[in-house]
Chains A and B, each alone.
Chain A
């Protein structure tokens, strides 16, 4: 039979974990393919997840491609499909098609220091690179993470972050003070200025809400990062994932296919349509 790009593969949820509860709920799922299907992908690529009867949603893959046993997705409950995903439990079947998008050019970053800068759910797409960089540690210089959320309850991967601290500097922040909080209080872009990562031989990778990204980039520029030392991801509404349905474009780029990863040098040339 000819290859049909729109047909998802069935995958079983093998782990479901509440990261954040409440109005901005985030849940992390791990899935395994029902019939051992292969799924090769790169860091920063996405997959189109199906809840049959509800529809599809494009979600970034947060596990490392070097881990072959499962795919991991962290999902913010926002729309109909993501709400339906949140209602799913271990053992339930979803559809997965992809992978889609360009992914991070991590092979080009060999020999460089990597500073990851994330906000909220934006840690999910970064997580795939963080895990991969740790597994290939000898290929890179120093690694560090600057990550924040509105409140301490909105931070994702709380347990994993505690472990990560033994492997790289991790600078956390929350927007407003809380009694037991010992780390930085303020917005992520401000924490970037505080921690002053050096641009020397360094790549900064930032994912998060558009407004945060905007100011992170501004502040990285103030710290003398060049446009091609800054990478980010763009999110737009998607349906096909393969550059055909016509809705995710910024200028002549289809984010689903030509993105979602852009260096600031590339992105600043495109119109502000995201």
Chain B
């Protein structure tokens, strides 16, 4: 379904979505942009990149899996476990970047398959993504066009909005998108033929503005298969502080830990939680014997890159990188995934 929406009607549309939880980029007290639930105050619809991608809405940094408790009746102890599946009301993420939606589309693969992850799907099934085409790239490190995405990609989105000056061009790709539009039907108009032309031009223009490029990503993926033992990983990981920022803030990274938290040791009461984890921490893979299959920074940088640029492709035929550039922008020591992969491509050439 294609429509247009006057910019001045945008806030009315959002108001009409009152039965939904609406997440939108908002500035926090420390001046950082992040997705948060909208209140009555204004929001920015500028093209910007939040610090955390919206993955935290589908896959929270910490969530309770189950609660356990022991009770003592007489001298009989009973153990009770209670599954805690999230109760989620219909949710819409407004202002998602197309790359962030593509990441959700990758998380769908990971959390789907033979073993469906009920916690993820409880949220995912209820969530619609409304994205804005990036008419200007929100980061100087954006490289979506190098990894089979684009600043106007539709993958994972329910609605794509494109800025046409005084109005948005509205493309709805799914039934969820149609539902969002029908919540305020009267605000949407049939697109004029010139609007269709304009949107095509805006999309083509947006691609040209991307500043960074990773050439030959698919051939690099092939080449990586032969570079497991390369000294490159050592050289490139030397300065890593193993802070984990590159993975925590990555829209497609999904590694997690499961652990028990005890509120009261006796009688036992607590919960089992899932928390984000990262392949950049040494104890991520450490066996209880002390043996560690990925004992050094080199093997962990290699894991991050190979997971994204080789293994995921072998299994799902997609890169597990959407080219948002956060890991480049935010790495405190300037490790640059594009530059590392450039070296892979040029290695031995």
Contact with A along B99-135 (1 / 0, CB 8 A): 0000000000011011111110000000000000000
Tell me how far the C-beta of A27 lies from the nearest C-beta in chain B, rounded to whole angstroms. 15
Question: Is the beta-carbon distance between A78 and B270 smaller than 8 angstroms?
Answer: no
Q: A247 on the interface (CB 8 Å rule)?
A: yes
Nearest chain-A residue to B315 (Cβ)?
A: A252
Question: Is the beta-carbon distance between B256 and A244 smaller than 8 angstroms?
Answer: yes
Binds A, one of B20-28, B31-39, B288-296, B322-330: B288-296
What is the CA–CA distance of A158 and B310 in the complex, to the nearest angstrom? 46
Question: Is the beta-carbon distance between A244 and B83 smaller than 8 angstroms?
Answer: no
Which chain B residues (148-183) contact chain A, with CB distance < 8 Å? none
Q: B307 on the interface (CB 8 Å rule)?
A: yes
Question: Is the beta-carbon distance between B315 and A246 smaller than 8 angstroms?
Answer: no
Q: B228 on the interface (CB 8 Å rule)?
A: yes
Which chain B residues (272-299) contact chain A, with CB distance < 8 Å? 272, 277, 279, 284-289, 291, 293-294, 299
Question: Is the beta-carbon distance between B262 and A53 smaller than 8 angstroms?
Answer: yes
A-B pairs with the 6 shortest C-beta distances? Answer: A79-B288, A246-B255, A252-B311, A242-B115, A78-B288, A52-B68
Q: B204 on the interface (CB 8 Å rule)?
A: no
* Interface size class, chain B: 35 or more
Interface of A: prevailing SS? loop
Q: A138 on the interface (CB 8 Å rule)?
A: no
Nearest chain-B residue to A9 (Cβ)?
A: B81
* Interface size class, chain A: 35 or more
Contacts A53-B262, A243-B113 given: A3-B118 contact, CB under 8 Å?
A: yes
What is the CA–CA distance of A210 and B291 in the complex, to the nearest angstrom? 10
Question: Is the beta-carbon distance between B256 and A7 smaller than 8 angstroms?
Answer: no
Question: Is the beta-carbon distance between B65 and A6 smaller than 8 angstroms?
Answer: yes
Using a CB–CB distance below 8 Å, which chain B residues touch chain A? Answer: 65-66, 68, 70, 79, 81, 83, 85, 110-111, 113-119, 228, 254-260, 262, 265, 268, 270, 272, 277, 279, 284-289, 291, 293-294, 299, 303, 306-307, 310-312, 314-315
Question: Is the beta-carbon distance between A245 and B118 smaller than 8 angstroms?
Answer: no
Which of A52, A54, A210, A249 is the most central at the interface, judged by chain B CB atoms within 10 Å of its CB? A52
Question: Is the beta-carbon distance between B314 and A252 smaller than 8 angstroms?
Answer: yes
Residues of B within 8 A of A248 (CB): 285
Question: Is the beta-carbon distance between B79 and A246 smaller than 8 angstroms?
Answer: no
Question: Is the beta-carbon distance between A4 and B268 smaller than 8 angstroms?
Answer: no
Residues of B within 8 A of A3 (CB): 116, 118
| Contact pick for A245, options B81, B277, B288, B315, CB 8 Å | B277
Question: Is the beta-carbon distance between B116 and A274 smaller than 8 angstroms?
Answer: no
Residues of A within 8 A of B311 (CB): 249, 251-252
Binds B, one of A111-119, A185-193, A231-239: A231-239
What is the CA–CA distance of A188 and B34 in the complex, to the nearest angstrom? 58
Residues of B within 8 A of A78 (CB): 288-289
Q: A199 on the interface (CB 8 Å rule)?
A: no
Which chain A residues (170-223) contact chain B, with CB distance < 8 Å? 210
Q: A87 on the interface (CB 8 Å rule)?
A: no
Nearest chain-B residue to A274 (Cβ)?
A: B293
| Contact pick for A5, options B115, B312, B315, CB 8 Å | B115
Contacts A52-B270, A274-B293 given: A246-B85 contact, CB under 8 Å?
A: no
Contact with B along A17-40 (1 / 0, CB 8 A): 000000000000000000000000
Residues of A within 8 A of B116 (CB): 2-3, 5
Residues of A within 8 A of B117 (CB): 5-6, 244
What is the CA–CA distance of A237 and B255 in the complex, to the nearest angstrom? 13
Residues of A within 8 A of B79 (CB): 10, 52, 93
Q: A141 on the interface (CB 8 Å rule)?
A: no
Q: A271 on the interface (CB 8 Å rule)?
A: yes
| Contact pick for A244, options B65, B110, B306, CB 8 Å | B110
Nearest chain-A residue to B288 (Cβ)?
A: A79
Q: A273 on the interface (CB 8 Å rule)?
A: yes
Question: Is the beta-carbon distance between B277 and A7 smaller than 8 angstroms?
Answer: no
Further 11 A-B residue pairs, CB within 8 A, beyond A239-B258, A252-B315: A52-B260, A52-B272, A236-B285, A236-B287, A242-B115, A246-B254, A246-B255, A246-B277, A246-B279, A247-B277, A274-B293
Question: Is the beta-carbon distance between A237 and B286 smaller than 8 angstroms?
Answer: yes
Tell me how far the C-beta of A196 lies from the nearest C-beta in chain B, rounded to whole angstroms. 31
What is the CA–CA distance of A239 and B111 in the complex, to the nearest angstrom? 15
What is the CA–CA distance of A255 and B286 in the complex, to the nearest angstrom? 15
